[in-house]
């Protein structure tokens, strides 16, 4: 059991998403940076899809009321165990009465903490991922209690020190595929998309990231069509909107690009003012 002393700016429980329900309008959700969340789970011996704690911009302060094994990956938020700095990207044993806390954000934007056995929050439609309108709680709050699996074996797993490639946390290039409406763009508009340095606007969250500057758009709206996390929409005003994990399931704006899974992970670690380039995969 873990007590939330401070929840951080925006912290949720996420697994790998709510699959198979998009036809009913249910977003996929899941960890914004799937690579970091899966890696954290591997470090403590969990299934890759086990539920983890996702912390955005600032970390939570957590009181552990039973011993367990944890691992922290993703953004560096200066993690501490009982006020002493601890390493990221490795397994750590915590005991009853220990406090995990976080300091200043050093790089990245979202950190992940896995606990042995995963977080045992409510399961809705096959997933523990928190989402407003789907789960009773859509973010963790002060004084919440987070249940984890009881662990009698605190021996660190063999993969407790797997090598983590953190270079993508500072990566500035998004690899993309052509979206269904890409070929309807004029040649100069395509060149503009692929040669502009974009900046993450202040409008960025688990649903979508808006990029600036605007891109002149002469495409007409389309009939409502399926969209996915990573779909890049171009609005009539020229706004590029990159849909993220909690996005809707359909949309009526032209879908000019589609981010790769790796690029969704990269973008999820960006915040307002970060620069990005777009590269079309061959």
Q: Tell the burial category of 180 from Cβ atoms under 10 Å away from its Cβ (0-12, 13-18, 19+).
A: middle
Rounded CA separation 87/67 (Å): 18
Strand 68-76 versus strand 145-146 pairing type: unpaired
Looking at domain 171-280, its CATH class is: mainly beta
Q: How many other C-beta atoms can be found within 10 angstroms of the C-beta atom of residue 3?
A: 15
In order along its 282 residues, the chain shows pLDDT tens digits of 999 999 999 999 999 999 999 999 999 999 999 999 999 999 999 999 999 999 999 999 999 999 999 999 999 999 999 999 999 999 999 999 999 999 999 999 999 999 999 999 999 999 999 999 999 999 999 999 999 987 666 666 565 666 777 777 888 999 999 999 999 999 999 999 999 999 999 999 999 999 999 998 989 889 999 999 999 999 999 999 999 999 999 999 999 999 999 999 999 999 999 999 999 997
What element of type H or E holds 200?
strand 198-204
Burial 41-80 (b: 16+ CB within 10 A, else e): bbbbbbeebbbbbbbbbbbbbbbbeebbbbbbbbbbbebb
Domain boundaries, the chain: 2-167, 171-280
CA 97 to chain centroid, in Å, comes to: 29
């Amino acid at each position: 059991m873990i007590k939330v002393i401070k929840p951080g700016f925006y912290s949720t429980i996420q697994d790998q998403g709510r699959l198979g329900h998009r036809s009913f309008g249910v977003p996929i959700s899941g960890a914004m940076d799937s690579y970091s969340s899966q890696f954290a789970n591997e470090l403590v011996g969990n299934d890759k899809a086990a539920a983890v704690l996702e912390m955005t911009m600032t970390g939570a302060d957590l009181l552990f009321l039973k011993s367990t094994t944890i691992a922290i990956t993703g953004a560096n938020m200066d993690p501490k165990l009982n006020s002493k700095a601890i390493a990221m990207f490795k397994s750590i044993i915590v005991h009853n009465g220990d406090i995990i806390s976080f300091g200043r954000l050093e790089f990245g934007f979202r950190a992940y903490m896995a606990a042995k056995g995963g977080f045992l929050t409510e399961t809705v439609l096959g997933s523990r991922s928190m989402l407003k309108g789907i789960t009773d709680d859509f973010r963790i709050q002060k004084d919440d209690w987070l249940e984890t699996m009881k662990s009698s074996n605190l021996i660190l797993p063999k993969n407790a020190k797997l090598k983590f490639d953190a270079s993508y946390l500072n990566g500035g290039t998004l690899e993309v595929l052509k979206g269904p409406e890409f070929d309807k763009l004029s040649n100069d508009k395509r060149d503009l998309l692929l040669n502009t340095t974009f900046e993450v606007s202040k409008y960025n969250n688990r649903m979508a990231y808006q990029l600036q500057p605007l891109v002149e758009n002469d495409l007409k709206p389309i009939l409502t069509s399926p969209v996915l996390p990573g779909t890049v929409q171009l609005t009539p005003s020229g706004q590029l909107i990159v849909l993220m994990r909690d996005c809707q399931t359909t949309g009526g704006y032209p879908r000019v690009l589609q981010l790769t899974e790796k690029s969704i992970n990269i973008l999820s670690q960006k915040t307002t003012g970060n620069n990005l380039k777009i590269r079309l995969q061959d």
